[in-house]
Chain A
Amino acid sequence: MALCSDLEASIRKHAKERSYPDGRTYSSLSMSRGAEIAKAQATTIRAVELAALAQDILPERYARNQRSLTCAQQIGLLRSRVAIVGQGGLGGTVTEILARLGVGELVLVDGDVFEESNLNRQLLATTQTMHKSKSAAARRRVTAINPAVTAIAHREFLTADNAESLLTGAQVVVDCLDNLPARFTAARAARKLKIPMISAAVAGMAGHVTVFFPQDGGLEGIYGDPEQLPAKGAETALGTLPFAVSAIACIECAEVTKILLKQPHTLRNRMLVMDLADNTLDVLELA
């Protein structure tokens, strides 16, 4: 208890009053002060941020999440674990956004290494990361963006054998895969573990996003019988353009946020379809 109150007192001591762009003031804790307090109190940066938020002291890095998010909601995100399966075009952007948003634990699954054809759309594919592990690059990126977030990287492909152990403990699974059979593998494991899954796919300038809860109809509702499916879809002919991939990845992040915070209007039993070729965006009823 003494330690806990030391932590809280130390946070209060180092908090500074700042103003939002609209003039309203708030109590802020800077990144450097937060790190110093974590070190002095022999705790994690996340524990410091959680203790600050519990006293309505805002870690400055989340200042522009307010007031769309409250301190209680920021705490909810920091206490959440999300599994991001696939660390390519969709996964790299989803990881980037969720780390910035402040989701506390990110499980990063990909057995692949970067290759040149990834450079058009995968945020972590650079001339420096060619032939290097995607999941390891994602872990480094998360730590560089937000040291309050724990990144758990698995350099392996999701399979029927490892899916449950990789996804256990996550509150949400984000399907960022690039082939149809692996999406079904992720969906089966998520359903068995009773974890909601967000699934998205892109081809050319078009893409779609949907949300499944364990009791819902799964990916079969979109793709039909998995036995009758090719491994890849229209993207083999059209490629995957970077702005379409990033836009769809950001829609996945909005769904992650709404599910974690138990907010309404998710894409459950619905599908958002987007085609940037003619600027159409529609939400379709699946059920």
Chain B
Amino acid sequence: MTATIRIKLFATLKAHEPENAAAYPIAPATTVSELVERLAVPGDMVKLIFVNSRRAALDTPLKDGDKVGIFPPVGGG
């Protein structure tokens, strides 16, 4: 059984969201950083990372069922 995660990319990053974002397969012990690279999200656009609604970091490892959210810098009003 392959581990899958849910991916939600916000604002300008949405263009990088894969079609299978609701059940995206990952290799064991994939980190957020590796995921970002695989999705071709520019590194300087990754400002806020959440895993299962908690603040996470680039080196956070991911596991089956995780929900990952990534924000670019947003400053409009």
Contacts and interface: CB of A to CB of B under 8 A. Distances in A.
Interface string A265-287: 00000010101010010111111
Contacts of A207: 74
A74 interface: no
Contacts of B74: 201-203, 206-208, 233-235
Nearest to A285: B54
A283 B73 contact: no
Q: Would you call the interface of chain B mostly helix, strand, loop, or mixed? A: mixed
A178 B75 contact: yes
A136 B74 CA distance: 27
Contact of A282 (B13, B69, B77): B69
B30 interface: no
A177 B77 contact: yes
Nearest to A91: B77
Contacts, number: 96
B55 A284 contact: yes
Contacts of A240: 76-77
Interface in A46-68: none
Contact of B73 (A90, A223, A277): A223
Interface in A195-252: 200-204, 206-208, 221-224, 229-235, 237-240, 245
Contact-residue size bin, chain A (C-beta under 8 Å from the other chain): 35 or more
Contacts of A239: 76
A234 B53 contact: no
A240 B11 CA distance: 11
A178 B12 CA distance: 17
Contacts of A231: 75
Contacts of B75: 177-180, 183, 201, 203, 231-233, 235
A77 to B, nearest CB: 23
A89 B55 contact: no
Interface of A: 86, 88-91, 176-180, 183, 200-204, 206-208, 221-224, 229-235, 237-240, 245, 271, 273, 275, 277, 280, 282-287
5 contacts: A89-B77, A203-B74, A203-B75, A224-B47, A233-B76
Interface of B: 8, 10-14, 47-48, 50, 53-55, 69, 71-77
